[in-house]
Amino acid sequence: MDIRRQTFKTGFKGYNSEEVNQFLEMMAARFEEMTKEKDEQTGKISGLERELAKYEKLEKTLHEMMLNSQKTLEESKLHAQHESNLIVREAEVRAEEIKRDAEKALKEIRDTLTILKEQKNTFIVKFRTLIKSQLDLLHLMDSDAHPADKPLLAAEEGKDLSLHLSSSQNPGVGAP
């Protein structure tokens, strides 16, 4: 709208044309100033809208990142829980294997101990039998010996007899 070129019809005793022209000039200047201000404000608004769009995009990106982080955190928690459950199960299985192995080893040791006790008892019985047969042989030899050798044989027989008697009362004591 061009205020400066606007013309009016004049009539009888109409408005003073110079005052009207001054007023139109003032209004045109003010209108141009306001149009310029409006254009500046429109530019600022456009810039702010672009900046706002940029911040809204950033906000959306941050929100998506936060959601992804939460999802990743939950997945990590579930994975860690699953891993810990696997580790616990593996540890329980391994502990059970160790326990079975220890029980098997204990049984083997007890079986070996039982066998060793039986062997010891068998040895003691055989050794006593050997000693008895040796004593019997000494008695037999004693009856065939010269009278001068009898006190020596009697002393030896006393030792062997005391050894025989103590081993029969306390098995394993006095046995070689």
Residue-wise pLDDT for 40-60, tens only, equals 999 999 999 999 999 999 999
Scanning the structure block, which residue is given the tokens 């209108």?
Answer: 31
Task: Please check whether residue 23 lies inside any domain of the structure.
Answer: no
Cα(88)–Cα(3) distance, integer angstroms = 90
Domain of residue 33, residue span = 29-169
Give the pTM. 0.41
Asked whether the predicted pLDDT for residue 8 surpasses 90, the reply is no
DSSP state letters, 87-111: HHHHHHHHHHHHHHHHHHHHHHHHH
Task: Please check whether residue 17 lies inside any domain of the structure.
Answer: no
Question: Mean of the pLDDT values across residues 65-78?
Answer: 95
Task: Please check whether residue 44 lies inside any domain of the structure.
Answer: yes
b/e map 92-128, b = 16+ CB within 10 Å: eeeeeeeeeeeeeeeeeeeeeeeeeeeeeeeeeeeee
Asked whether the predicted pLDDT for residue 99 surpasses 50, the reply is yes
Question: Mean of the pLDDT values across residues 70-79?
Answer: 95
Tokens representing residue 147 in the block: 């009278």
Task: Please check whether residue 63 lies inside any domain of the structure.
Answer: yes
Task: Please check whether residue 21 lies inside any domain of the structure.
Answer: no
Task: Please check whether residue 66 lies inside any domain of the structure.
Answer: yes
Which pLDDT band, with edges at 50, 70 and 90, does 174 fall under?
Answer: very low
Asked whether the predicted pLDDT for residue 146 surpasses 80, the reply is no
Q: Which pLDDT value is given to residue 157?
A: 56
Domain count, the chain: 1
Task: Please check whether residue 2 lies inside any domain of the structure.
Answer: no
Task: Please check whether residue 109 lies inside any domain of the structure.
Answer: yes
Question: Mean of the pLDDT values across residues 102-128?
Answer: 97
Cα(144)–Cα(83) distance, integer angstroms = 89
